[in-house]
Amino acid sequence: MQKQQGFTLIELVVVIIILGILAVTAAPKFINLQGDARVSTLQGVKAAIQGANSLVYSKSVLAGAEKGDDDGKATVNIGTGTLLNVVYGYTAGNALDLVNAVDISADEWDITDKDGTVKIQQKGAPVNCYLNYTQAQGEGQLPTIESGIAVVSATTPATYQPFPSASDC
């Protein structure tokens, strides 16, 4: 009687087929890890902006600058050595003030502003992977932080996604 040594060809083919099926079902869960990481990074930046704005508003109230002048504009010393422009007590919607308040690195982020809105996008990120920070529009109103990705519907007016998705990033 001879002992069997090794595997038969059929056994090897069955194992390869099973591994192939597992790879096909598991791969989509891991393909977009970079998009998930970019979304998480944007969530961190959003939280940093919100936290900084809480502190800026507190400083504005203590300085009596939360109402600003006729158009809500004022400056506040936040301890960075540079006065911060505020609108209704919150960080103004320009790139320099946002960088000053949040201490975000321009080496890693593209930060541009236009008409009171600052676009924040990680360098090298896809086109739809960004956030817009819009300064407060009136007394008692908060600044908004949202994606600039429009949600268009035939039945409702155009709105913006609150946050980019992993497929956008």
**DSSP secondary structure letters along 73-118:** EEEEE-SSSSEEEEETTEE-SSHHHHHHHH---TTTEEEEEETTEE
The pLDDT score that the predictor gives to residue 67 is 87
Give the angle subtended at the CA of 101 by the CAs of 96 and 106, to the nearest 5°.
Answer: 50
State pTM to two decimals: 0.77
CA-CA distance, 165 to 169, in Å (whole number)?
A: 7
CA-CA distance, 49 to 47, in Å (whole number)?
A: 5
The pLDDT score that the predictor gives to residue 96 is 93
Pairing relationship of beta strands 150-151 and 131-134 according to DSSP bridges? unpaired
Q: Helix (H, G, I), strand (E, B), or coil: what is residue 71?
A: coil
Per-residue pLDDT of the chain (169 residues), as tens digits, is 566 677 788 989 999 999 999 888 877 777 768 888 899 999 999 999 999 999 999 999 998 888 888 788 999 999 888 899 999 999 999 999 999 999 888 889 999 999 999 999 999 999 889 999 999 998 889 999 998 787 777 777 767 778 888 888 8
CA 84 to chain centre: 22
Identify which of 124, 120, 123, 141 has the alpha carbon closest to the alpha carbon of residue 132: 120
The pLDDT score that the predictor gives to residue 149 is 80
CB of 35 closer than 8 Å to CB of 163: no
Give the angle subtended at the CA of 52 by the CAs of 46 and 56, to the nearest 5°.
Answer: 140
